[in-house]
């Protein structure tokens, strides 16, 4: 499009796909400093990203599965160990009380004040 040419836009509705393509194609196929067209670079980047997305998703899935498995095993271990730990604590506490009660303790005598 040259600045001296009149523009011929239709005012009777939204632009069609052909109108959008006519405006976008020169922008996409612009060569910057004799480099490749932007569309080619963009397509290569998108293709490379799509090629890497699958393996990364697979690795992320395995990491999540392993983390969930570790959490389930840890939770099961806590549930199974808690009664044992409670009973062991109660037995030790009772043993300490019995040991304290069986040892000799001096009798404390209190004197009453004479009235």
Instruction: Return all residues near 27 (Cβ < 8 A) that are at least 6 apart.
Output: 38
pTM for this model (two decimals): 0.46
Residue 60's pLDDT is what?
96
- Please report, in angstroms and rounded to a whole number, the separation of the first and last CA atoms in the chain: 123
CA 23-29-35 angle, to 5 degrees, is 155
Q: What's the pLDDT at 22?
A: 83
Q: What is the C-alpha separation between 67 and 62, in angstroms, rounded?
A: 9
Q: Classify residue 64 as exposed, middle or buried by CB count within 10 Å of its CB (0-12, 13-18, 19+).
A: exposed
- Domain borders along the chain are 35-102
Tens place of pLDDT per residue across the chain (115 aa): 556 665 665 556 777 888 888 888 877 776 666 666 777 778 888 899 999 999 999 999 999 999 999 999 999 999 999 999 999 999 999 998 888 877 766 666 666 666 5
């Amino acid at each position: 499009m040259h600045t001296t040419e009149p523009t011929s836009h239709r005012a009777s509705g939204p632009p069609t796909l052909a109108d959008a393509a006519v405006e976008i194609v020169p922008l996409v196929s612009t060569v910057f400093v004799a480099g490749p067209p932007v569309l080619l670079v963009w397509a290569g980047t998108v293709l490379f990203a799509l090629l890497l997305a699958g393996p990364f998703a697979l690795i992320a899935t395995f990491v999540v599965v392993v983390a969930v498995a570790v959490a389930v095993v840890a939770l099961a271990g806590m549930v199974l160990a808690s009664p044992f730990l409670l009973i062991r604590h109660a037995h030790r506490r009772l043993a300490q009380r019995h040991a304290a009660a069986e040892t000799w303790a001096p009798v404390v005598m209190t004197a009453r004040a004479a009235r």
